[in-house]
Copies of this chain bind each other. A is one copy, B any other.
């Protein structure tokens, strides 16, 4: 039994080996510490196997095909559904994480397969085996799909992002509950691959966390694709005919949506169950996320010497891989500095940029790329803002990119500070237009300086010039 074994000892133990956990482990290890990472499923995590990576792998052939179809002189492009699925399989390596495990071996991080449970300050059990973390434990367990309490829903065995991103079967009819990023991206994928997709979303629009015009553009595009988008629509009951028969979603008002599969994409639930948080006094937010300081220290611990951290989705600050990784880098550096009794490098161990609003790209067609605050968020913060809107084709680079290019750009300017606080681009191939905004926002570059950052002609980035001209520079 475990009690007879010596406990395993490491400087740092990270629970959860998704990209966030990997980053935290890597930074702590680079600081000279011995590190173990605990994973009960796949090293690489949700993002690599069930979320961003397969979703983008599925979407990219759709984008590339349409981009070709939209340019005169480029002919004949069409989608091959089997090829798309094969591509996805290559990206998720058929759910084999040996590549990621090889990386851990290569850098010298110990992988502990199993479920990690906190048992006290700096101690945990992994599948019954006692493990001691001399310096710190970092939680990076992420989230799981939320299943709302709709009668019959669980029994209908709905798909979550996991089943949808890994399926090799294209259902004839797919119903999607939800209207956020996962719902929109996967609705577009399945419609393009041959499903007849219906979206059922409670909110009045799609992509509710983005500027309203972004959700509107994606809704219109999905409808052009043939998706039946029902916003302002509430599902009240779900039933399935037998274990694999058709699913009926009963809507408020009496209508129904009948489909072969139902994808639930209505948000996420923090993966805190069974982590032993109560054993150490960890505080949770109202939504059940692990409550952290601005240095990712878990709040409310019985032993308040800093030893327990939470990074990524599980702390609920920003449910985005890149923001979780950002927190993880800062946290890994902080743990390294504290272990060495070094003063942390100024600014490096606090992931302060999260407060300015997280950049995010939705890889639908059109893409939605946003950074900083939306207009509404900026107003909520009481900022004195000005909003500048322009169609993307004000930059000739957009028209050169695709015939009849459709898209929209917005910047949100803090008039008192004279700096950018938000930006959103909607359109084909806008994903990489957002990093300039992220830099301008984080760098708090005065607009009068930004004016001298000349975009190259004729790139799509010239929309930056047009926006500043429209602002009045």
A residues neighboring B (CB under 8 Å): 19, 47, 52-53, 56-57, 60-62, 64-65, 67-68, 70-87, 90-91, 320-323, 325-326, 345-348, 351-353, 358-361, 369, 396-397, 400-401, 403, 429, 431-436, 438-443, 445, 448-462, 464-465, 473
Contacts and interface: CB of A to CB of B under 8 A. Distances in A.
20 contacts: A19-B457, A53-B400, A72-B87, A72-B90, A73-B85, A74-B77, A74-B78, A74-B80, A75-B79, A77-B77, A353-B452, A432-B460, A432-B461, A433-B435, A434-B456, A435-B436, A435-B464, A439-B445, A443-B450, A445-B445
B400 A60 contact: yes
Nearest to A324: B457
A442 B323 CA distance: 26
A350 to B, nearest CB: 9
A446 to B, nearest CB: 9
A347 B64 contact: no
A465 B52 CA distance: 17
A453 B359 CA distance: 9
Contacts of A358: 454
A450 B439 contact: yes
B78 A457 contact: no
Contact of A459 (B57, B432, B439): B432
Contacts of A90: 72
Contact of A320 (B323, B346, B457): B457
Most chain B CB neighbours (cut-off 10 Å) among A438, A441, A457, A460: A457
Contacts of A400: 53, 56-57, 60, 91
A447 to B, nearest CB: 11
A438 B458 contact: no
A52 B458 contact: yes
A452 to B, nearest CB: 4
Given A322-B462, A400-B56, A438 B454 contact: yes
A439 B73 CA distance: 34
Contacts of A85: 73
Contact of A432 (B72, B325, B432): B432
Contacts of A347: 448-449, 451-452
B84 A80 contact: no
Contact of A74 (B65, B431, B439): B65
Contacts of A86: 72-73
A142 to B, nearest CB: 14
Nearest to A347: B448
Contacts of A440: 439, 443
> Considering residues A52, A72, A358, A456, which has the most beta carbons from chain B within 10 angstroms of its beta carbon?
A456
Contacts of A72: 61, 83-84, 86-87, 90
Nearest to A444: B449
A320 B73 CA distance: 27
Nearest to A441: B453
A47 B79 contact: no
Residue among A70, A79, A431, A442 with the most chain B CB within 10 A?
A431
A183 B310 CA distance: 55
A448 B78 contact: no
Contacts of A19: 457
